[in-house]
Structure 1
């Protein structure tokens, strides 16, 4: 599947989210990346939970393994 460039405007889906007021800013990289970075810097990734195991019944995987398993999607 070939994908084109991501539009800055986001198109109709982004317009609908913006009009709905349903957390529009949380979908914007310039909003969430600095906040995620701050959370990790302040120790937000230190807690390990059983959420994945509890919800899926399966073992969690590392990000590295996820990328390996889905390599084609990143090319």
Structure 2
């Protein structure tokens, strides 16, 4: 059984406090590959930037293992 490497809980993402995608709950296990597809402007890059800590979520949480991304030092 693979460990969960990354997961989100009720994650909403966007810019300047305005959500473009809401309530994302995902789980990525160690060694998995995930593909994001969609039309231009639907939030794919914003999701990746939020998951990597480059921008803050509008609401919700991102976890690396069992640690909140916001609790990790930069």
TM class by smaller structure: under 0.3
Bigger-Rg structure (1/2):
1
Structure with greater contact order relative to length (CA < 8 Å, sep ≥ 6): 2
Whose helix proportion is higher, 1 or 2? 1
TM-score normalized with structure 1 length: 0.24
TM-score normalized with structure 2 length: 0.25
Whose strand proportion is higher, 1 or 2? 2
